[in-house]
Structure 1
Amino acid sequence: MPDERLLITGAGGMVAGLVRERMRRRGRVVRLVDIKPLETPAGDGEESLTGDVTDRALMARACEGVDTVIHLGGLSRESSWEQTSLVNITGTQVVLQAAQEAGVRRVVLASSNHAVGFRRVDEAGADGIPADTTTRPDTFYGVSKAAIEALGSLYHSRFGMDVIVIRIGSCFPDPLPLGPRGLGTWLSPDDAARLFEACLSAESPGYQVIWGVSDNTRRIYSLTEARALGYEPQDNAEVYADRLADVPESPGSEYVGGGFTTALLGIYNPP
């Protein structure tokens, strides 16, 4: 029998794809769930299931014998309210309910900076904007992330489950796709794995909201809360700064949510 069984939802997505290999450990089985078959099939120390996080029967099976859930499944971009609320909000409730009924002791939920996207960058204090600053979502996507934070709080308070919410800045192989903004928001793949490991090993965290970010020179997000759980970031986006020196700031740069705070997405004026 393994010492630990970890469930990762959204296993075919960007963040899971970046940390999957990094999360392998002797004595740990990683169970992978995604709506589509994985491009890289389950290997040694892995199991896989294919299906939707809104499928209650599937998630009940997925949570059997699991110690911790890292819930990364869901829509990662702006979409219609109907799709966003179904997949991100209802899907998270399904995952939390399945975890609670299976006796899972800890769930890590992937939130986003877009839950507080209309916070101004100049609100940052000495160590950045506090991780538990109240929500100011910038999109339907941001609203869905604010809602899953509330669901996590409910399942902790009602059932005593440890729930750690990570407000992820931007997790890519490098910060270049986001332009200058990425120099502040980047969470490197290695640091993402370090952060998840800290969430898995922290003793009795209760309900916590933390930022998911590397120790970037231009960071505007607090690391105080994540460090209290044992996270020690080792990467800094500033090493990419020269490659972005001539790239102008994008619209919305005065806000945490960047371009998501502008009208560029165009979904609020349907035909």
Structure 2
Amino acid sequence: MDIPQRPVLLTGASGALGQMLARELAGRGWKLLLTDRVPFPGTVPEGASFALADLNDGAMLLRLAEGCGTILHFGGVSVEQPFETVIGPNIRGLYHMYEAARREKARMVFASSNHTIGFHERGEVLDDDSYLRPDGYYGLSKAYGELMGRLYWDKHGVESVFLRIGSCTPKPIDDRMLATWFSYGDLLRLVERSTLAPSTGKHGCIVVWGASKNKRMTWWRKDGRQIIGWEPTDSADAHTPELDGKTSFNPVAERYQGGGYCGMDYSRATPAPVAQFDKK
């Protein structure tokens, strides 16, 4: 089994996805440096080390990243929150992580989100170069993160893989997730390939849509998965009988790909029209 030649730093290690990645990757023999602003729940996996750190603390993060060849950046605010809550960990913290990647010549694997494109309508088909249409401050911070990654490639040669994660939960829970569900197993394998692939291609930064092999996933199309050698293998399809039609009944949420995030604090009298340049 292949393992990275240099240690891997995982931020957000105490979150649901971080804990799963920490345990699974450590079990594969990866040398992991784990960090979060709250303690790691339970026992730190064998072969890994954990350090408390806030993403606002740039000096601490630089020390933690010393010698690392990859940064798995899963830290930060992970749901929609007010702007002042998001800006510190998701904007300033991201800058600190890219500075660490620049200094260590490390690859960045960034946990981006489908909420970067949430205000595209569900009838649209998007490629990795479709216009960003974030559906809130959280999605906006992830869109900013992708732009920062491109800056650090163009200016410093830092490679990035942007994982536009759909709905990564143990199992799908509603009708929308029959399209957007992303299994833990598929995420794990995507992180592995994002880390172990020899290159991210000539453009340096690639987007990969984070969804499993769901029949209803017709919204997201071209991306960079072939460059790193990844394809999903799991599927939400077995849950169709129980979840088909289980919606929010909110017309804004059900119109747009971002779902419920689009309806939060929504104040337009009518839904936003699709811009002409978004039509493909």
Could you state the TM-score of these two structures normalised by the residue count of structure 2? 0.87
* 1:84–1:140 CA contact under 8 A, matched in 2: yes
Match of 1:90? 92
Alignment of 1:131-170 (within 5 A): 131-170=128-167
In 1, Cα distance between the equivalents of 2:239 and 2:190? 21
Match of 2:211? 213
* Unmatched tracts of structure 2, length 5 or more: 268-280
Match of 1:237? 236
- 1:249 CA drift (Å): 5.0
- 1:21 CA drift (Å): 2.1
Match of 1:105? 106
In 2, Cα distance between the equivalents of 1:250 and 1:12? 34
* 2:175–2:245 CA contact under 8 A, matched in 1: no
Matched, 1:8 2:10: yes
Match of 2:275? none
Paired-residue identity, %: 34
* 1:121–1:255 CA contact under 8 A, matched in 2: yes
SS of alignment partner, residue 123 of structure 2: helix
Aligned counterpart for 1:198 among listed residues 193, 196, 217:
193
In 2, Cα distance between the equivalents of 1:224 and 1:138? 21
In 1, Cα distance between the equivalents of 2:151 and 2:161? 12
Deviations 1:12-63 (A, max 9, x none): 1122123322223555211111001111232311011101111111101110
* 1:22–1:190 CA contact under 8 A, matched in 2: no
In 2, Cα distance between the equivalents of 1:250 and 1:45? 47
Alignment of 1:38-53 (within 5 A): 38-53=40-55
Distance 1:122 1:246, change over 3 A: closer
RMSD across aligned C-alpha pairs, in angstroms?
1.9
Deviations 1:132-155 (A, max 9, x none): 322001111111111111111111
Distance 1:89 1:151, change over 3 A: same
Distance 1:24 1:198, change over 3 A: same
* 1:250–1:258 CA contact under 8 A, matched in 2: no
* 2:112–2:143 CA contact under 8 A, matched in 1: yes
Aligned counterpart for 1:64 among listed residues 63, 66, 69:
66
- 1:260 CA drift (Å): 1.2
Match of 2:278? none
Matched, 1:266 2:268: no
Q: Which amino acid aligns with 2:25?
A: M
* Unmatched tracts of structure 1, length 5 or more: none
Matched, 1:183 2:185: no
Deviations 1:223-253 (A, max 9, x none): 6522332112110111111221352354222
- 1:104 CA drift (Å): 3.4
Distance 1:254 1:266, change over 3 A: closer
In 2, Cα distance between the equivalents of 1:115 and 1:136? 6
Q: Which amino acid aligns with 2:116?
A: A
SS of alignment partner, residue 132 of structure 2: coil
Deviations 1:200-236 (A, max 9, x none): 1222201111211111111122265223321121101
Distance 1:4 1:25, change over 3 A: farther
Q: Which amino acid aligns with 2:139?
A: G
SS of alignment partner, residue 239 of structure 2: helix
In 2, Cα distance between the equivalents of 1:192 and 1:160? 25
